[in-house]
Amino acid sequence: VPPALGRAAYPRLTWFSFVRDPLERLVSAFFEVHRNATDRDACADAMSPPRQPSEIDGPGFGHGFCATGLNPHLVAAATTGRGHAAGKVARDGVLARFEAMLSALEDGEFRNQHTEPQAERLLLADGGVVDFIGDFASLEEGWQELAALQAAIFNTSWPPAPPRLWETPAGLRAVLNASSLPSALVQRACRLYRTDYCCLGL
């Protein structure tokens, strides 16, 4: 359903969404905007073959936050099987790139669909609240709650929860994860996504 039409056009639908912890989502967005794919590799440092500037959703190689640190995908591939010391140097480079991207977000120099606050994406142009918001970390439990809501309102059955089609590879989690971020960066990210924490109860 096109969100611009809003609730008024579809009064009998249940509007729902599942959201993620903003800090976890920011780390995931960091991985996503560095992925070697069209409209993904913001820094153009993982491209093979090279793409046109119009296919790059970001500042590009050597520009903006891309001038700092290392691409997490390249580090994850290069450090697999290496010793702890080499891995730490590489992880420090990834952390530097993450902090540079966070600064760019704070300054309004970089933004895309993966870094936008989730609360903004849930707003409907024609008003109306969302009927149900679940936590993606507990998708299966939330899906059962949603099923109960559907049964109570519409007396209808609800299909099983959809499968999780994507999990962050262990190699990427090894070079950067939300639990290993310095507290100063965590506080900055929390301020950046305070709307999500306040409005979505996260």
CB atoms inside a 10 Å sphere around CB 134: 18
How much is the pLDDT for 85? Answer: 43
* Mean pLDDT (the chain, rounded): 83
Q: Which residue has the higher pLDDT, 89 or 150?
A: 150
How much is the pLDDT for 126? Answer: 53
Task: Round to whole Å and give the CA distance between 57 and 167.
Answer: 22
pLDDT-above-70 percentage for the chain: 81
Note whether 18 and 133 are within 8 A (CB): yes
Give the CA distances from residue 54 to residues 6, 109, 199, 200, in Å, rounded to whole numbers and listed in that order.
32, 17, 35, 34
Residue with tokens 């010793």: 83
What is the reported pTM?
Answer: 0.83
Q: What is the DSSP string of the chain?
A: --GGGHHHH-TTSPPEEEE--HHHHHHHHHHHTTSSSTTT-TTSSS-SS---GGG--SS-TTSGGGGSS--HHHHHHHHTT--HHHHHHHHHHHHHHHHHHHHHHHTTS---TTTS-HHHHT--TT----SEEEEGGGHHHHHHHHHHHHHHHH----PPPPP------HHHHHH--GGGS-HHHHHHHHHHTHHHHHHS--
pLDDT band at 59 (very low <50, low <70, confident <90, very high): confident
Phi, psi dihedrals of residue 68, rounded to the nearest 5°: -115, 140
Residue with tokens 């046109």: 52
At residue 161, does pLDDT exceed 70? Answer: yes
Rounded mean pLDDT, 178-197? 94
